[in-house]
């Protein structure tokens, strides 16, 4: 890049922090909900409470934090100014109203209202994707980080579209007949009714699983892979060791996920082939992370990074479990049905949440320090980053979260019937 005049590229810290604070609030509610209703994990996951809790965790906690972090990280990582901070603030309004309404309406199983709040959420996602998309267009040198972020944005858009289509299929459209032909709503409702008829030809479980994979693998895992290629070298004082290997990891993840999505939605027996392509992409990612680690100049691996690396171990485990559960001819039993819940739990509360927590340990103290103390440097005594957090609490949090995660997974695998003595 040619040398140029320096300027501030990152948005104001208040923007990412409002998303992160919202995410923490949702996470707290999610954890309390799990404590109050642990039976949710011990039932088959296709019910209103699990769907509501999953959207609370995924939209309220994870997507809030990840979207806020993206507004901060993308300009810094790719050395480009955020297209519009104002649009990001508007997204926050739609995002908050959207996910809170969706979770509440899923809990009541009022899918018409889920559709309305989901549409508000989709407007927010549209603003997010447009804003970061315009930002990416300014990137002076396209690289694997930009390609991964662009892929994640595309998968996020598709996740939301598929989610809205799924909800469309679960609503009724009797009111079409009562509207006059001059009413413009009649045309819209008739189109939604036709869309519902089309989507209802599909197996609802398959479409729901396809939607979930788009969101979790396409948006979250892809975003984690992309930003890892920037953040891990930054935190470890290292470099990406093979741009080619990193680029292929993103390509294979994209190809594998496209195949998994189609195979799940259309119930195709070649699903394991697509899953293996996806796993090959993850394998290249793991190999690159290992190479980055080996080349690091900072020997100490702090607890934030340990969270991230532990999550990668879980990712390998979850990927193999997903491959087994998608194997054609696998006999479906209560045990394998509960393993699907374990798969989702370890993927969402394990892989993605653990990574997000690890990165937050790195990002939030810096943002708070920068917001509160950076202007005083050289003029007054300022605290160090280490003064802002407690490593002992990080260690305690790491072990207690990991123990709780695995204990809940074991409980979910055991299943509700056995617990209550109703089953074998």
Partner 1 sequence: MSDEFVEVDARGLEPPQPMVRILEALTVLPTGAILRARTDRRPLHLYPLIEERGWVAESQPEADGSFVTFIRHA
Give me the residues that bind partner 1 (CB under 8 A), please.
Answer: 1, 3-10, 75-76, 79, 234-235, 237, 239, 297-298, 366, 369-370, 374-375, 377-379, 382, 385
Cβ atoms 98, 104 nearer than 8 A: no
| Beta partners for residue 380, in sequence order | 377
* Residue 183 or 390 having the CB closest to partner 1: 390
Q: Which residues contact 360 (CB under 8 A, 6 or more apart)?
A: 20, 65, 69, 304
CB of 234 to partner 1, least distance (A): 6
* Residue 329 or 378 having the CB closest to partner 1: 378
Q: Which residue has the tokens 């594998």?
A: 256
CB of 186 to partner 1, least distance (A): 53
Cβ atoms 257, 326 nearer than 8 A: no
CB of 271 to partner 1, least distance (A): 42
Alpha-carbon distances of 125 from 91, 129, 367, 400, rounded to whole Å = 7, 6, 24, 33
**14-18 LR contacts (CB < 8 Å, sep 24+):** 14/371, 15/68, 15/71, 15/72, 15/85, 15/88, 15/89, 15/92, 16/68, 16/69, 16/71, 16/72, 16/363, 16/367, 17/68, 17/364, 17/367, 17/368, 17/371, 18/68, 18/92
* Residue 108 or 138 having the CB closest to partner 1: 138
CB of 231 to partner 1, least distance (A): 11
CB of 357 to partner 1, least distance (A): 19
* Residue 8 or 421 having the CB closest to partner 1: 8
* Residue 41 or 360 having the CB closest to partner 1: 360
CB of 365 to partner 1, least distance (A): 10
* Residue 39 or 79 having the CB closest to partner 1: 79
Task: Say how many residues make up the chain.
Answer: 424
- Separation of alpha carbons 70 and 127, rounded Å: 13
Token output for 164 = 């809205």
* Residue 200 or 374 having the CB closest to partner 1: 374
Cβ atoms 104, 56 nearer than 8 A: no
- Of the candidates 129, 52, 136, the one whose C-alpha atom is nearest the C-alpha of residue 94 is 129
* Residue 234 or 393 having the CB closest to partner 1: 234
Q: Which residue has the tokens 């697509």?
A: 274
């Amino acid at each position: 890049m040619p040398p140029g005049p320096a300027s501030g590229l990152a948005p104001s810290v208040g923007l990412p922090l409002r998303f992160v604070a919202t995410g923490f609030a949702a996470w707290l509610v999610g954890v309390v909900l799990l404590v109050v209703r642990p039976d949710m994990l011990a039932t088959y996951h296709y019910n209103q409470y699990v769907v509501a809790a999953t959207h609370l965790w995924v939209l309220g906690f994870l997507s809030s934090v990840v979207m806020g972090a993206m507004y901060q990280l993308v300009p810094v990582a790719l050395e480009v100014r955020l297209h519009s901070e104002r649009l990001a603030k508007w997204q926050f309004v739609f995002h908050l109203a959207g996910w809170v309404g969706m979770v509440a309406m899923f809990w009541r199983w009022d899918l018409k209202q889920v559709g309305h709040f989901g549409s508000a959420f989709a407007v927010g996602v549209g603003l997010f994707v447009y804003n970061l998309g315009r930002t990416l267009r300014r990137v002076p040198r396209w690289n694997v980080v930009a390609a991964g972020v662009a892929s994640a944005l595309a998968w996020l858009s598709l996740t939301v579209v598929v989610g809205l289509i799924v909800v469309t299929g679960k609503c009724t459209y009797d009111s079409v007949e009562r509207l006059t032909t001059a009413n413009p709503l009649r045309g819209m409702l008739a189109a939604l009714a036709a869309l519902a008829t089309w989507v209802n030809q599909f197996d609802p479980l398959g479409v729901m699983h396809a939607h979930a994979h788009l969101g979790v693998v396409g948006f979250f895992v892809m975003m984690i892979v992309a930003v890892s290629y920037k953040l891990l070298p930054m935190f470890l004082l290292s470099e990406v060791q093979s741009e080619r290997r990193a680029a292929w990891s993103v390509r294979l993840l994209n190809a594998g996920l496209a195949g998994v999505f189609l195979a799940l939605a259309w119930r195709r027996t070649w699903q394991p082939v697509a899953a293996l392509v996806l796993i090959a992409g993850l394998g290249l990612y793991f190999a690159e992370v290992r190479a980055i680690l080996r080349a690091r100049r900072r020997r100490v691996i702090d607890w934030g990074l340990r969270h991230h690396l532990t999550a990668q171990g879980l990712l390998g485990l979850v990927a193999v479990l997903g491959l087994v559960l998608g194997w054609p001819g696998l006999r479906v039993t209560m045990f394998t049905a509960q393993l699907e819940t374990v798969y989702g739990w370890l993927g969402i509360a394990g892989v993605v949440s653990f990574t997000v927590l690890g990165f937050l340990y790195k990002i939030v103290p810096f943002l708070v320090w920068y917001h509160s103390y950076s202007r005083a440097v050289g003029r007054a005594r300022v605290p160090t980053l280490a003064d802002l957090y407690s490593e002992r609490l990080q260690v305690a949090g790491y072990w207690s979260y990991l123990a709780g995660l695995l204990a809940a997974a074991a409980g979910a695998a055991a299943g509700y019937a056995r617990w209550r003595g109703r089953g074998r």
